[in-house]
Homo-oligomer: A and B are copies of this chain.
Amino acid sequence: MEPVKVGLLGLGTVGGGTLTVLTRNANEIARRAGRGIEIAHAAARDYNPASIEGLEHVGRIGDDAFAVVDDPEIQIVVELIGGYSPARELVLKAIANGKHVVTANKALIARHGNEIFAAAQARGVMVGFEAAVAGGIPIIKALREGLAANHIEWIAGIINGTGNFILTEMRDKGRDFADVLAEAQALGYAEADPTFDVEGIDAAHKLTILGSLAFGIPLQFERCFTEGISKIGALDVTYAAELGYRIKHLGIARRSPGGIELRVHPTLIPERRLIANVDGVMNAVLVKGDAVGPTLYYGAGAGALPTASAVIADLVDVVRTLTTDPNNRVPHLAFQPDELVDTPVLRMDEIETAYYLRLSALDQPGVMARIASILGEEGISIEAIKQKEPGEGETHVPLVMLTHRVIEGRMNEAIARIEALESVQGAVMRIRMESLSG
């Protein structure tokens, strides 16, 4: 059978990786897909031909991405440019032209996925986006197909490798955030502008997608709560460890009685959980289904070849189902398009979690009692409280507390009252805590 003709937009890291893997494993991929996959037309600006294995097998290379999307010979368009524009216009044009699309663009799907999937549905084409979440880990497929029997209760994922590398280094070496960030930038694990990664925006894009797949709700990136890791101190990592916890930057999506939780923030989790031991740049997603219980998916969340693995898995999926009746394909967001529901996404102050609190208090009798009584008045139970040794000649001591679960709004009140105490110095450090068991 004739090879399937694919158009490739972008020859950067992932585009180059995709060509490399398609070239190296051409025979094995064709033996699985039933047909060869040929990159017949590619478009890119500013790429380095010498660094890309397999470039010689590309039919035609130009610099006009719209020419690829309009090329009548092309059946599937792979979008690896990234960003919102012109990626959105290109993808919509490809769909309008009746072409299937595969993309690794998490920002695009998180923000414009509803529009893109509606267009694809109307035109009867597929849009694959396995590479948009957790790189090479087939987590989209697991949620959309492998766990289709389940009422999904919650998802908790380490879905940004840069952040996980930084937190792992902070723990292993007792170093501070800024120090490790500089090293990660030098190693190429972090961008020159690290905001996207360390402030949780990248993770929020991915979590938005996972939440929709799990709960059958439209994509709503703007409702995802996001807090970064830049305020975590070496002290917090140490204290957490002393209490039997690790700090991970988690994306958490959960069904709760009032609605859906979508939140990215640093989180204390028990060190004995498997996911607490996912270190360095690796990613992992823990999914709790009512029938299957907890399942975990672990692997490389970024990088040229792992991301290419997911892009090509989508290509093989499309090739295998190229002639399928469009009404009998796997729906983009796991649920049939007319079966999505608009369960509200909760604000962070409506959400219940447990907390780790660290503050600096005057080393005097009665101070701890005053703080405990404020928490009690706000309905917050204390699970553990530890006063650390004061530094030489210091009048204030670090106080660390773990609380039971409480609505964040109440915790905000309590923290405001504690910070207003004269005996308390500076801000209260607050890190949310999850058992990941129920």
**Would you call A177 an interface residue if the criterion is a C-beta within 8 Å of the partner chain's C-beta atoms?**
no
- Complex Cα distance, B24 from A172, in Å, reads 45
The docked-state distance in angstroms from the alpha carbon of A328 to that of B324 is 7
Contact partner of A145 (CB less than 8 A), chosen from B138, B149, B277, B292, is B138
Whether the Cβ atoms of B291 and A136 lie closer than 8 Å is yes
Distance from A212 Cβ to chain B, minimum over Cβ atoms (Å): 13
User: In whole angstroms, how far apart are the Cα atoms of A335 and B290 in the complex?
Assistant: 32
Inter-chain contacts of A146 with B (CB < 8 A): 130, 138, 141-142, 310, 313
A and B contact pairs by CB, cutoff 8 A, 21 listed? A25-B149, A25-B150, A28-B151, A28-B216, A31-B336, A32-B339, A34-B327, A130-B146, A136-B289, A138-B142, A138-B295, A141-B141, A147-B313, A148-B312, A149-B316, A150-B309, A292-B305, A292-B306, A295-B298, A295-B299, A295-B300
The 8 closest A-B pairs by CB, nearest first: A138-B146, A149-B312, A295-B299, A136-B292, A31-B339, A292-B309, A296-B298, A291-B309
Asked if B145 and A141 make an inter-chain contact with CB atoms under 8 angstroms apart, the answer reads yes
Q: How many copies does the complex hold?
A: 2
A320, B330: Cβ atoms under 8 Å? yes
User: CB-CB < 8 A to A21: which residues of B?
Assistant: 149-150, 291
**What is the CB-to-nearest-CB distance from A292 to chain B, in angstroms, rounded to a whole number?**
4
Contacts of A311 in B (CB 8 A): 149
Indicate whether A325 reaches chain B with its CB closer than 8 angstroms.
yes
B-contacting residues, A285-324, CB 8 Å: 289-300, 305-306, 308-313, 315-317, 320-324
* With contact pairs A309-B289, A331-B34, A335-B32 given, residues A295 and B147 touching in the complex (Cβ less than 8 Å): no
Determine whether the beta carbon of A149 is less than 8 Å from that of B298: no
A388 interface hit (Cβ, 8 Å)? no
Contacts of A50 in B (CB 8 A): none
Q: Give the contacting residue for A151; candidates B25, B138, B294; CB below 8 A.
A: B25
Return the CB mask of A114-126 against B: 1 if under 8 Å, else 0: 0000000000000
Further contacts, 9 of them, CB under 8 A, given A32-B334, A32-B339, A320-B328: A25-B290, A34-B336, A137-B295, A146-B310, A150-B309, A293-B299, A294-B299, A320-B329, A323-B328
Q: Is A274 an interface residue (CB 8 A)?
A: yes
Query: Is A29 interfacial (CB-CB < 8 Å)?
Result: yes
Closest to A28 in B: B151
Q: Does A407 make an interface contact (CB < 8 A)?
A: no
